Amino acid sequence: MLRCLRRSALSSFCLENIKSLNDRLAFFKFCEDNHDFLLMRETAKDILNICGNIEEEVLNKISLYERLDKVEADKAACSHICVGEGFVEIEIPDILPLKAQVNAARKRLWAGYFQSVSKETGLPLFDHAKITIEIHSCKNNWDLDNRAFGMVINFLKGMIIKNDSCGHVISVELVARISDEYKTKIVVSKIA
């Protein structure tokens, strides 16, 4: 009986003071090596409890990302497009990000903007084009050349311009506009 009480006290003390999952797994192995099966069982229950909490956290994160995807899809649907004789104008309700801010989530968001544009029927495919990217911002102290304009050109490739090589994209113009809203306006003009 004394041995069981000692074991139980040791178990409670150890499990309360061992914080990381890896340390608990190592403690489980230690108990196994010492043939302390009661302590092993208690440690195993504790480990399964931690894993259940981790699983719940992962499911919560997945739910958050699903909601984020819905918000991104709704924002992407807000892209406006105007097709005229020899030009295509696209307005995106977001400021073109800095090159350093382009991560997987940001690329996915901008891909959504261009996906909504690509669903438009009757888009021309220009062999030679000039691209003008107007970046509208409320701020007046930012560097134009730090923006991820290459991402825009890559999204236009195959959709409105045949290719993004210098034989097809004749020029790219970046324009900064002080505005009361954040948006990016892209004009692709056909060059004969």
Could you tell me if 143 and 104 are in contact, meaning their C-beta atoms sit under 8 angstroms apart?
A: no
Could you tell me if 153 and 172 are in contact, meaning their C-beta atoms sit under 8 angstroms apart?
A: yes
Could you tell me if 153 and 164 are in contact, meaning their C-beta atoms sit under 8 angstroms apart?
A: yes
- Summarised one tens digit per residue, pLDDT across range 13-45 is 455 556 676 777 777 777 777 777 677 777 777
Alpha helices in 18-132 (DSSP H): 21-33, 37-76, 104-118
Could you tell me if 183 and 146 are in contact, meaning their C-beta atoms sit under 8 angstroms apart?
A: no
Q: What is the DSSP letter of 117?
A: H
Pairs from 33-36 (Cβ < 8 Å, separation ≥ 24): 36/7
The pLDDT of residue 1 is above 60: no
What confidence tier does 58 reach under pLDDT thresholds 50, 70, 90?
Answer: low
pLDDT at 118: 81
149: left (phi over 0), alpha (psi -120 to 50) or beta: alpha
Q: Residue 25: which residues within 8 A CB-CB, separation 6 or more?
A: 47
- State the Cα–Cα distance between residues 72 and 74, nearest whole angstrom: 5
178: tokens are: 């002080």
Nearest to 188 by CA among 129, 147, 136: 129
- State the Cα–Cα distance between residues 162 and 101, nearest whole angstrom: 28
pLDDT at 119: 80
The pLDDT of residue 108 is above 70: yes
Name the more confident of 61 and 6.
61
Say what percent of the chain tops pLDDT 70: 73
Name the more confident of 57 and 170.
170
Pairs from 81-86 (Cβ < 8 Å, separation ≥ 24): 81/117, 81/120, 83/120, 83/122, 83/123, 83/124, 86/189, 86/190
- Summarised one tens digit per residue, pLDDT across range 133-169 is 999 988 877 788 889 999 999 999 999 999 989 888 9
- State the Cα–Cα distance between residues 133 and 175, nearest whole angstrom: 6
